[in-house]
Amino acid sequence: MSLTGRHVLSSDLFGRDELERLFTLADLLTPVSRGRKVTRVLEGAVMASLFFEASTRTRLSCESAFLRLGGGVISSTGVEIMSIAKGESLADTSRVVSGYCDLIVMRHPLESAVHEFAAATNVPVINGGNGAGEHPTQALLDMFTLHREFSRTGRTLDGRRIALVGDLRHGRTVHSLMKLVTRYENLTIVCVAPEPLGMPVGLLELAESRGHRVQVSEQPETGLKDADLVYATRLQTERFADQPLPYSDAFRIDKALVSRVCREDAVIMHPLPRDSRAASNDLSTDLDEDPRLAIFRQTDAGIPMRMALFASVLGVADTIADSLRPAAWYRPDYTGPHDAPFYRNVGTNNR
């Protein structure tokens, strides 16, 4: 299936073949994401990023990815500064913005908004997060991270035990991730959440229909045991209004819990942001020096994966290999204090 010209509204779009093609392309683009090589395959193209809801990583990494491909970016954040505040429909805004750009990345608190937006235009629309619905580009970068982390230790994704933990009901990243991991084979998927925050039944059924073993647990202490991947998520308080939260400190994924129950070669991920305040029950900062914590390798993977997606949707993926040339400016070998072991070969393979 060609991705050229397609809207990317759900991760339903990607089968295993597309995922693996994107991994190969993202590997090729990694030196560009690290400022080691330059490409200009999207020279002259314009991306519009429209974020009607808070974002740090998705907006900035999409914009960085498009710029590193040689394109330009126009962007708008928040409803209050757009004509929607004057009563303009999403369809009209979409039709107007489509005339200004070649691709739109959009985030909106309403699940239906991104579909309405896409229906009004032929310019590809990429879902940057629609309410509690989906977040397909996050799931793509999560899959690319998993592919890299498991390859490093000689494993593949097939046959793994995966624990998804936290607010699985409202967390859109895990919804998109369920649709992608289940494209692989023979998984055990453990969904660890208090009952009211559990994974939507339709997604549990999807996993079962694709031949995986699915377990539901309310206990991180047992649910995380023996998992190859622990994927923690934040309590999505913005989707709760003022309801009491059925969440206890058993859901704090910290050094004590990880050393009691996690495998030595587990991979620990989180889509971020994590809530790092003292009383929060989220992924703890006391794990920051643990090499199993892959969260910043995960954010770094967002740029090459989103570059691979944009290049594919705009039909220039095949021209990338021949377009690469060395970059001239200074870049450190690695960017964070704990990254060194994972970026040892930065001079050769630029990972």
**Residues within the interface to ligand ASP (CB under 6 A):** 129, 135, 172-173, 234, 271
Tell me the C-alpha distance between 59 and 56, whole Å: 6
Non-local (6+) Cβ contacts of 179 within 8 A are 10, 11, 12, 139, 203, 206
Nearest residue (CB) to ligand ASP, 121 versus 173: 173
The DSSP symbol for 292 reads T
Query: Smallest distance, Å, CB 199 to ligand ASP?
Result: 15
CB of 233 within 8 A of CB of 174? Answer: yes
Nearest residue (CB) to ligand ASP, 28 versus 178: 178
Helical (H) or strand (E) element with 215 = strand 213-217
Nearest residue (CB) to ligand ASP, 9 versus 346: 9
Query: Smallest distance, Å, CB 166 to ligand ASP?
Result: 9
Query: Smallest distance, Å, CB 228 to ligand ASP?
Result: 22
Query: Smallest distance, Å, CB 173 to ligand ASP?
Result: 5
Nearest residue (CB) to ligand ASP, 108 versus 212: 108
Non-local (6+) Cβ contacts of 60 within 8 A are none
Query: Smallest distance, Å, CB 327 to ligand ASP?
Result: 29
Tell me the C-alpha distance between 339 and 289, whole Å: 9
Nearest residue (CB) to ligand ASP, 234 versus 306: 234
Tell me the C-alpha distance between 93 and 96, whole Å: 5
Nearest residue (CB) to ligand ASP, 98 versus 137: 137
Query: Smallest distance, Å, CB 198 to ligand ASP?
Result: 17
CB of 99 within 8 A of CB of 120? Answer: no
Query: Smallest distance, Å, CB 91 to ligand ASP?
Result: 24
CB of 190 within 8 A of CB of 223? Answer: yes
Query: Smallest distance, Å, CB 279 to ligand ASP?
Result: 18
Tell me the C-alpha distance between 210 and 31, whole Å: 35
Nearest residue (CB) to ligand ASP, 115 versus 274: 274
Nearest to 122 by CA among 144, 141, 140, 97: 97
Nearest residue (CB) to ligand ASP, 71 versus 271: 271
Nearest to 177 by CA among 11, 3, 343, 347: 11
Backbone angles phi, psi at 190, to 5 degrees: -110, 120
Tell me the C-alpha distance between 244 and 237, whole Å: 10
